[in-house]
């Protein structure tokens, strides 16, 4: 039970941290309010008695100033005939410190202790008040003022006022205040529980939902019930679920595509291997079979290398071997590789080569890999009779390589996704769907950009920009290490 109580939940933390503090403050406030109310009523009674006492003392002073009056007799008569005896018990104390006369005539033994009289004797003002209990158990306020006229048998006047009704009134008011505070606490508990549940229940739903996502179930979505932060959290998690579902779908398509891409060359290699084992005296067929096997093996090797590059990029392990390089040499070699293939497919491949370009500080093998991927995609997504144009030039402070085709193009919906991992805009064309993602990462590691413009059934243009070597190249890799190179082309040429 204790473990359940101390469980680290929002509800328990609210009860302990919020409600507990509020209850403590309300209890302190109730006690303070009770003390203030009690002080107010008792002070009012004391002030009331003090006013009555001043009238009595003034009358006694008048008796003392009249020589023809029997002072002791007048005091006794005033006490016995006191007009407020129903509210206030008036009595006098003799020179021996004993209660001599009372207004109601009750026994002087019932006058209780006279600690207020003793306090008045010690007071500079000659007066004092105290709350005492009578022998009957009644709680009263005792107020004593010293009088000392010559020839008098009395030395003090004392008043007693019952506090029973005052205490009942104070208890009644404190009870009302306490009930009010209890009502506040109960209201806080109910409203607080409602508020906490409005947070806890959606959080529980989110928790259950994320657990289903962790198990691979992307079919469900959270219901947005408010427009506050919880609503925004639901939107964010739903968006995450959509992205994960899309990624999962693309991953499955990628696995299917890669499996197909791997199976095709493996089937060709296996078929020709079995054929060559049965052929002994046909050099032409043997040579053709070996060419097919060699070509398909190279294709398999390129696919595996592409997958390894993608894995390295994902893990941040892709390293660049940067040197001073001529971009035109790598681009021209790429065109030579694909010209014959484009010709066989009846696709025109035009290359507009400039006389020269600034040197680039980069990894020539990786940049060549990018060019091969872009040109290969252009051929892959083009049909017989289409045209591919490759152009390199300087624009502003950047070197630009543009590859345009008149192929099948990419739809507006798919265009923003083409550089995402596993995504293939057209499932009918060969390819794994990661080549463009790898190419984009490589260009970014060189401090450049790779952008695409495309229109469905019109064509696609891929534009690569790279900083020339004459500028300061600051490239951040995935491990946040910064490489800085400042090399002057003129100095190198000298």
Give the Cα separation of 165 and 422 in Å (integer): 88
pLDDT at 366: 87
Q: How many CB atoms lie within 10 A of CB 365?
A: 11
Three-state DSSP at 268 gives helix
- Of 94, 148, 116, 108, give the one whose Cα is nearest residue 46: 116
Which comes out higher in pLDDT, residue 403 or 314?
A: 403
Q: Which one of 143-152, 236-245, 409-418, 445-454 scores highest in mean pLDDT?
A: 445-454
Helices assigned H by DSSP within 66-163: 71-80, 115-122
What is the tens place of the pLDDT at every residue in 436-486? 888 888 898 899 999 999 888 889 999 999 999 864 443 433 333 333 333
Average pLDDT over residues 326-353: 90
Give the Cα separation of 448 and 421 in Å (integer): 19
Map out the domains of the chain with their CATH numbers. 2-169 (3.30.450.20), 229-312 (1.10.287.130), 318-493 (3.30.565.10)
Three-state DSSP at 216 gives coil
What is the tens place of the pLDDT at every residue in 263-284? 777 887 888 888 878 776 778 8
Which comes out higher in pLDDT, residue 475 or 342?
A: 342
Q: pLDDT above 70 covers what percent of the chain?
A: 81
**pTM score, whole prediction:** 0.46
Mean pLDDT of all residues belonging to the chain: 79
pLDDT at 331: 92
pLDDT at 477: 38
pLDDT at 109: 58
Q: How many CB atoms lie within 10 A of CB 102?
A: 21
What is the tens place of the pLDDT at every residue in 394-445? 998 899 999 999 988 888 887 877 776 655 555 444 555 577 888 888 898 8
pLDDT at 489: 35
DSSP string, 388-453: EEEEEEEETTEEEEEEEE-SS---TTTGGGTTSTT--S-TTS---S-HHHHHHHHHHHTT-EEEEE
Q: At residue 494, does pLDDT exceed 90?
A: no
Q: At residue 6, does pLDDT exceed 70?
A: no
Structure tokens given for 234: 């639901």
pLDDT at 3: 44
Question: Comparing 166-170, 238-242, 358-362, 432-436, which segment has the lowest mean pLDDT?
Answer: 432-436
pLDDT at 478: 34
Which phi and psi angles does 449 have, rounded to 5°? -135, 150
Structure tokens given for 324: 């001073």
pLDDT at 1: 39
Give the Cα separation of 355 and 446 in Å (integer): 23
pLDDT at 280: 66
Give the model's confidence band at 204: pLDDT under 50 very low, under 70 low, under 90 confident, else very high: confident
Average pLDDT over residues 118-131: 89
Which phi and psi angles does 144 have, rounded to 5°? -125, 135
Q: Are strands 449-455 and 459-466 parallel, antiparallel or unpaired?
A: antiparallel
């Amino acid at each position: 039970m204790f473990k359940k109580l101390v469980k680290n939940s929002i509800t328990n933390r609210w009860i302990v941290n919020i409600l507990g503090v509020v209850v403590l403050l309300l209890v302190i406030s109730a006690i303070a309010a009770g003390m203030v109310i009690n002080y107010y009523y008792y002070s009012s009674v004391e002030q009331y008695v003090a006013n009555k006492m001043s009238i009595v003392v003034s009358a006694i002073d008048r008796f003392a100033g009249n020589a023809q009056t029997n002072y002791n007799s007048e005091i006794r008569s005033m006490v016995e005939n006191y007009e407020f005896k129903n509210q206030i018990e008036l009595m006098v104390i003799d020179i021996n410190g004993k209660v001599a006369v009372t207004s109601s005539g009750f026994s002087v033994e019932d006058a209780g202790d006279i600690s207020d009289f003793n306090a008045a004797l010690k007071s500079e003002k000659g007066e004092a008040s105290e709350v005492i209990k009578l022998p009957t158990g009644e709680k009263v306020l005792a107020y004593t003022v010293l009088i000392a006229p010559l020839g008098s048998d009395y030395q003090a006047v004392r008043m007693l006022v019952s506090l029973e009704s005052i205490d009942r009134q104070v208890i009644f008011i404190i009870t009302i205040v306490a009930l009010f505070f209890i009502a506040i606490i109960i209201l806080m508990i109910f409203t607080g529980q409602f508020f906490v549940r409005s947070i806890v229940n959606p959080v529980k739903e989110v928790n259950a939902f994320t657990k289903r996502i962790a198990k691979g179930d992307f079919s469900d979505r959270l219901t947005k019930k408010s427009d506050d932060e919880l609503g925004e959290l639901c939107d964010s998690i739903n968006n995450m679920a959509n992205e994960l579902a899309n990624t999962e779908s693309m991953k499955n398509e990628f696995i299917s595509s890669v499996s197909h891409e791997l199976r095709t060359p493996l089937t060709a290699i296996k078929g020709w291997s079995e054929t060559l084992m049965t052929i002994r005296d046909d050099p032409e067929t043997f040579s053709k079979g070996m060419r097919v096997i060699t070509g398909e093996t190279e294709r398999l090797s390129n696919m595996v290398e592409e997958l390894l590059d993608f894995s390295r990029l994902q893990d941040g392990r892709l390293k660049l071997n940067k040197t001073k390089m001529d971009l035109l040499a790598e681009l021209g070699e790429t065109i030579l590789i694909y010209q014959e293939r484009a010709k066989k497919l009846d696709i025109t491949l035009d290359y507009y080569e400039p006389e020269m370009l600034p040197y680039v500080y980069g990894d020539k093998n990786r940049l060549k890999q990018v060019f091969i991927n872009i040109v290969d995609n252009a051929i892959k997504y083009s049909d017989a009779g289409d045209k591919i144009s490759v152009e390199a030039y300087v624009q502003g402070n950047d070197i630009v390589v543009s590859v345009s085709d008149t192929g099948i193009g990419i739809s507006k919906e798919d265009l923003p996704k083409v550089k995402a991992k596993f995504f293939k805009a057209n499932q009918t064309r060969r390819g794994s769907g990661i080549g463009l993602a790898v190419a984009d990462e490589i260009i970014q590691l060189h401090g450049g950009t790779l952008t695409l413009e495309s229109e469905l059934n019109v064509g696609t243009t891929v534009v690569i920009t790279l900083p020339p070597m004459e500028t300061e190249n600051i490239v951040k890799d995935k491990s946040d290490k910064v490489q800085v190179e400042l090399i002057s082309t003129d100095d190198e040429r000298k």
